[in-house]
Amino acid sequence: MSAANVNAEEDTTQNPVSRTLPSSLNIPEINGEMVHLRPATMDDYALMDDLQAYYNASGITGKDAQAEKALVHTWVGRSVAWSQGLSPEESGVGDPESRRTIAWSVLADSDPDDDDLEDRSKVIGMIFLIDIDSWAKSARIQVILGKRYRGRGYSRDAMPRVMTYGFAPEPAGLGLHRIWVGVPEKNTRSLSVYQSLGFTKEGVSRHALWDDANHRYQDQVVMGTLVDEYDPIRSLDAFGMHLIEDNPGVREALAALEHSLALEVNRRGDNKSMSSSELDGELEEMLAGKGGDNAESNSGDGNKSQEQVSWPYSNRDEEGAERSKRAWWRNLGNGRKREGR
């Protein structure tokens, strides 16, 4: 790590927070239940072409196929350069702000509908953390899958695990504060998935994209989620997935969740100290979800919805101030079916 990386600022909690990225990064492999993520290589370029990964790019990301392909090549190039310890200038795809990108290739388990998928050996697309801003602790996430592998749940398996790594504190993760996406207004499927993952609509860039199919401009919806809003457990549970504790950042997520629950338990006890056995019992109930994920389920007690817990912090900070946003799962549903999306 360079001398510049040693410099750090202190945040309001007096914990050192680095505002620079390391000069090199050992990009971790990440496991899912349906997919396996490994660092993307330049050899994967041709595979993306074979997968027709840029089919209908304008409808999914708002860019034409050639532009999307050029971006993927740039993102992979930046990712490989970072893993090799090359500076942005040396990589050949430099960035004046020295922002970095991580690219993973998405490999799938065997699929009964596809004889070509065997033993996690088939690349079906890529997932990226793009323009990682170490100063603002922000990054954009994007998934690009082959034409025939869309809508099967692969992105729903991969994205929460990448986001958990992104939000996990250094050195287990990237220590990000915000992850965001930009989605064409007509891509309602992606908007629904991102909402289920915990993203909140932050604004609209008017006529920012060209809708080639309908020959008109369309808006781009900007959605984001923050570290104190994101719940890695429930974001997976929404799609019937489970945590894999060996993945990068997961243990840190669980530790933060347990700390959050302990704080909430003490608040529910009017700040009275509790015995370890009482605390364990409360934590076990809350982790099991007995408090209910939906505020509607507690209609018999008007105060219950204010007592539910989000990760990694409670709905109120330690000084008791109400947080400006609620965790995603408080607003999930409203009659919307998740199956088959």
What residue spans define the domains of the chain? 252-330
For 267-300, how does the pLDDT look when each residue is reduced to its tens digit (9 = 90+)? 666 555 555 555 555 555 555 543 333 333 333 3
Distance between CA 210 and CA 82 in Å, rounded?
Answer: 32
Q: What is the pLDDT of residue 237?
A: 84
Could you give the angle at the alpha carbon of 29 between the alpha carbons of 25 and 35, nearest 5°?
145
Structure tokens, 82: 């970072």
Q: Is the Cβ–Cβ distance between 108 and 122 less than 8 Å?
A: yes
Give the dihedral of Cα atoms 271, 273, 276, 277; nearest 10 deg.
-80
Work out the number of other CB atoms within 10 angstroms of the CB of residue 215.
7
Nearest to 183 by CA among 221, 145, 156: 221
The model's pTM: 0.73
158-202: pLDDT as tens digits: 999 999 999 998 889 999 999 999 999 999 989 988 998 889 999
Average pLDDT, the chain: 75
List of the chain residues with pLDDT < 70 = 1-16, 88, 91-98, 110-120, 257, 260-261, 264-341
Residue 245: Cβ-neighbour burial (10 angstroms; 0-12, 13-18, 19+): exposed
Q: Among residues 5, 39, 318, 21, which one has the least CA distance to residue 175?
A: 21
